[in-house]
Chain A
C-alpha cells in the first residue's frame, strides 16, 4: 500500500474528499430542482413546469455527468480507508449502520410521502405536468393494479452497500489484479482506457443515463458506478495517481467540455422516435469520456482548492447526508403548488431551490444535528479541531 494517508496523516489529506462528497450531494438538490424546468425532461418529470429552457438542460446534464460518479469515487476512497482502519468486517459493519440502516428507515417515509404528494397534486393542481396528466386517470381509479415500488432518489444507498459487500468478495477471493493494473497505467491510459469500460453500460440505457431506481440491481449501474467506486478505492491505495494526472487537468477539462458540447448536440436525437443506433453509441462514448474526465478534474481541483479545514464546509458536509435524503419530497411539495403560479421559470426555480435547501438545513439544525438522528446518520460528531472528514470516517458517516 503506497497511500500517502499513512505517511502524512489522515487529517491533512481528507478535507477535499469530504467537501467534494458534500458538494456532489448538494449538486443533486440543484439538479433535481432544475428538472422541473428542463426541456428534455418535460414529458417525464412529475413537477415539469410550463416554464422551461434549454439553458437549464445545458447546466443540469453537465452536472449529471459527474455528480454521482464523483460521489461513488469518494465513497470507494472512504471504503478503502475504513478497511485500513477497521478491517473488512469493521467496514461492513460501519456501512451497514450508516448506509443500509438509514435506507431501511428513510426509504419507506420518502417513498410513500412522494406517492402521496403525486396523488395530491394530480387531484388538486390545475396546470398538471404531462406526467401527472397521464397518471391522473390511473390515480383516480381505486382498483388500479399495483405498480412496483422504486428506490426513488435513495437508489445510491443500496448500490453503495452492494459495492462494499463486493469489496469483501474481492478481498475473500484475493483478486488483486485490478489494483496492480491501475497502478501500472500511465495517466494517458487512465484517462482513455477506463472510460472505454464505461461505454458498454451506457450504450444499454438511454442518454442521458437514468437513475437506476428499480428495486432489482441493474447491471449497467453496477458496472458504471462500480468502476467509479473501484477507482476511488484504488485511489486511496495509490495516492500519487492524482498527482500524476494533475498536469493534464486543463486539457482534460477542455476535452470534457468539447465532448459535452457534442453530446448536447446529439441529445436532440433523443426526441426522434427511432434514433440512429450509431448516434446512440456515440452519445454513450461522449457521456463516458466527458463524465470520467470531469470527475478527474473535480478530484484534482478539489484537492487543490478544497483541501482545507473550514467551519462552514464542515457544517455543510455534516448536513449533506440529511439534506440529500429529505430534499426530494420537500422539493416536490414546493414545486407542485408552483405549477399553478404564473411566474418566470427563473423565479420558480430559485424559490423552489432555496426554499428546499432552507427547509432541509433548518430541519437538520433543529431535528438532526444534536440528536439521536444525527448520530444515526453520521455517527458521533467529533468536536475537536480534527477535520470533519476524519471525524466522519472515525464516526462513520456516509
Chain B
C-alpha cells in the first residue's frame, strides 16, 4: 500500500477523485448558492438603493456561508457520520487526504468568491459609485477569505465539532469590527468617497497581513497534519 501511495501520479489521481467526491456531495448546497448569487446580482442591478444594499449584503452572507458549509459538509460531517473509516480503507496517505480536502474546499470557495469580487470591481469601476471604495471592498473580501482559510485550517486539525463551530462564529463576529477599523484608518477612509484608487501603506499592510494569515493557516494545518502517520 505504501508503494502505491508514494507514487506521485497515483496520489494526484486519488486527490482528483476525492475532490470530485466532495464536489458531488456538496453539489446541492452549491446549486442553492448559485440561485442566491443570481438573486443578489439581480437585486444589485435593480436600480434601487434598498435593493442595491440588500443584494450586496446577500452576496456577503453567501460568501460566508459557502465557505462554512463547504467545510461542514466535507470535513465535519464526514467525521460525525463516520464516513472517515471509508476514507481510511482507501489507498491514501493522510497527506493525500489533507491536500484533497484543501483543494476541494478552496475550489468550492474560490469560484463564488472570484465571481463576487469580479462583480464588485466591475460595479465600482463602471458605475457612478466612487472608484475609491474598491480598496475598502477588496480588503473586506480579503478578510472574508482569511476567515475561510482559518476555518479550513482549524477543521483540518481539530476534530471537535464544538471547537470548530466556536472558531467559525468567533471570526465571523470580527467582520463588523474589521469594517469599523477600516473606517478609522484615515489613509483608507478618506479615499472611499473619491474616484481615486489609492493603495496606501496601511491598505497594503492589511492586504499583506490577510494573505499572510491565509498562507499561515494552511502551513500550520499542514505542519500539524503531517505529524500523523495514520488517520487514527
Contacts and interface: CB of A to CB of B under 8 A. Distances in A.
Interface in A164-180: 165-166, 168-169, 172-173
Interface string B88-120: 000000000000000000000000000000000
A241 to B, nearest CB: 27
A217 interface: yes
A275 to B, nearest CB: 19
Contacts of B32: 169, 173
Nearest to B26: A172
B179 interface: no
Nearest to A216: B45
B42 A217 contact: yes
Interface in A196-227: 214-219, 222
A148 B46 CA distance: 14
A200 to B, nearest CB: 14
Contacts of A168: 31
B41 to A, nearest CB: 5
A215 B122 contact: yes
A172 B126 contact: no
B194 interface: no
Interface string B145-170: 00000000000000000000000000
A166 B45 CA distance: 19
Contacts of B122: 215
A162 interface: yes
Given A169-B31, A173-B32, A162 B45 contact: no
A172 B28 contact: yes
User: Looking at B28, B46, B123, which has the most chain A CB atoms within 10 Å of its CB?
Assistant: B46
Contacts of A214: 45
A142 interface: no
B48 to A, nearest CB: 12
A146 interface: yes
Contact of B126 (A148, A173, A219): A148
Contacts of B42: 216-219, 222
A159 to B, nearest CB: 11
A149 interface: yes
A216 B44 contact: yes
A215 B44 CA distance: 11
B128 interface: yes
Given A145-B128, A148-B126, A173 B31 contact: yes
Interface residues of B, number: 18
A169 B45 contact: no
How would you classify the secondary structure of chain B's contact residues: helix, strand, loop or mixed? Answer: helix
Given A169-B31, A172-B28, A172-B30, A222 B38 contact: yes
Range, interface on chain A = 10 to 19
B3 interface: no
Interface in B25-40: 27-28, 30-32, 34-35, 38
B129 to A, nearest CB: 10
Interface in A116-163: 145-146, 148-149, 162
A148 B127 contact: yes
Nearest to A214: B45
A166 B31 CA distance: 8
Contacts of A148: 126-127
A239 B190 CA distance: 62
Nearest to A223: B42
Contacts of A169: 31-32, 34-35
A265 to B, nearest CB: 30
A220 to B, nearest CB: 9
B128 A215 contact: no
B50 to A, nearest CB: 14
A166 B36 CA distance: 12
A102 B199 CA distance: 35
Contacts of B30: 172
A172 B24 CA distance: 9
Contact of A172 (B31, B45, B46, B128): B31
Nearest to A221: B42
Contacts of B44: 216
Given A173-B32, A216-B45, A146 B38 contact: no
B69 to A, nearest CB: 14
A172 B30 CA distance: 9
Nearest to A219: B42
Nearest to B24: A172
B45 A173 contact: no
Contacts of B28: 172-173
A216 B59 CA distance: 14
A172 B35 CA distance: 12
Contact of B34 (A146, A165, A217): A165
Interface of B: 27-28, 30-32, 34-35, 38, 41-42, 44-46, 122-123, 126-128
19 contacts: A148-B126, A148-B127, A149-B126, A162-B38, A169-B32, A169-B34, A172-B27, A172-B28, A173-B28, A173-B32, A215-B45, A215-B122, A215-B126, A216-B41, A217-B38, A217-B42, A219-B42, A219-B46, A222-B38
Task: Identify the 9 closest CB pairs spanning chains A and B, nearest first.
Answer: A216-B45, A172-B31, A169-B31, A219-B42, A172-B27, A217-B42, A148-B126, A148-B127, A173-B31
Given A215-B122, A217-B45, 17 more contacts: A146-B126, A148-B127, A166-B38, A169-B32, A169-B34, A169-B35, A172-B28, A172-B30, A173-B32, A214-B45, A215-B126, A216-B41, A216-B42, A216-B45, A216-B123, A218-B42, A218-B46
